[in-house]
Amino acid sequence: MHALDQVVQQKHLLSHPFYQRWMQGTLSKSELQTYVKNYQPHVEAFPRYVSAVHAQCESVQTRKALLDNLIEEEHGSENHPELWLRFGEALDLSRENIVSCAKLPQAKVLMDTFLALTQKSFASGLGALYAYESQVPDVAKQKIEGLQKHYGIDQPRGLAFFEVHLQADEYHAQSEKDAFDQLTDAQKKEAIEAASIACDTLWNFLSAIDEAHGITSTMHC
C-alpha cells in the first residue's frame, strides 16, 4: 500500500460514528444541519488551500493539475461553495443562516489547520490535500446513498456537491500521489506528517458535531 494511503486508511472518515449513522439513517435532521453550517467555512476555504499548494509547486505538470483542481472548485456558477449552499437549502437551511450563524470552535480549527498545512510548504500542502481528496469519492458515494435512502434528498440540486466529487477527486488524488512520488525522502516524511494531521483534524471536526448534540465521541490527538 502507498505510504500516504497507509495513513489515510488508519484514520478513514467512513469509520467515524457520525458517518456510520449517516449511512444507517439515524442522524437527526438537526445533526445534518449542524454539519452543513459548520463545514461551510472549510468548503469555502478549500480553493485557498489548493491555491497555496499551487503557488509553491515547481513542477509544471503538477501545477497544471492543481490549476484544474482550483478551477473546478471556484469557477463559474456551479462552484463548490455554491453547491454546498444548495445542499443546505435541501435541508431547509437559508443561505444566510449557513454562512452567518455562530460556528463551533472546531470549524475554525479545521480551516486554520488546512490553511497552515497548505501554506507551510509544497510537501506539507500536498499531504494535506491528499488526506482529504483521496477519501472524498468513497465518502461522497455513501453520503449520496444515505441521503436518498433515509433523508428524502434525491433531487440533483441537493446532491450536486457530492456528485461532482465522485470522479473529480479520484483524478485529483492520483495527481497528488504522483507528485508525492517525486519528492525527496525528507519531503515525503513531511507530506506524510501533514496527511496524518489533516486526517486527525477532519475526524475531530465530526466528533465536535457529535459533541454538540450530546453524543460522546473520540478525539484524535
The per-residue pLDDT for range 123-139, each reduced to its tens digit, is: 999 999 999 999 999 99
Any domain includes 219: no
How many domains does the chain divide into?
A: 1
Any domain includes 194: yes
What whole-number distance in Å separates Cα of residue 90 and Cα of residue 165?
18
| Structural domain containing residue 202 | 3-212
C-alpha cell at 205: 471536526
Give yes or no for a contact between 134 and 140, defined as CB atoms under 8 angstroms apart.
no
What confidence score (pLDDT) does residue 217 get? 84
What confidence score (pLDDT) does residue 171 get? 80
Give the residue ranges of the chain where pLDDT is below 70.
1, 169
CA–CA–CA angle 98, 72, 95 (5° rounding):
15
Any domain includes 113: yes
Q: Which residues are CB-neighbours of 95 under 8 A, at least 6 positions away? A: 85, 88, 89
What confidence score (pLDDT) does residue 1 get? 61
- pTM equals 0.95
Any domain includes 217: no
CA–CA–CA angle 36, 41, 42 (5° rounding):
90
Any domain includes 221: no
Any domain includes 218: no
CATH of the domain at 40: 1.20.910.10
Any domain includes 61: yes
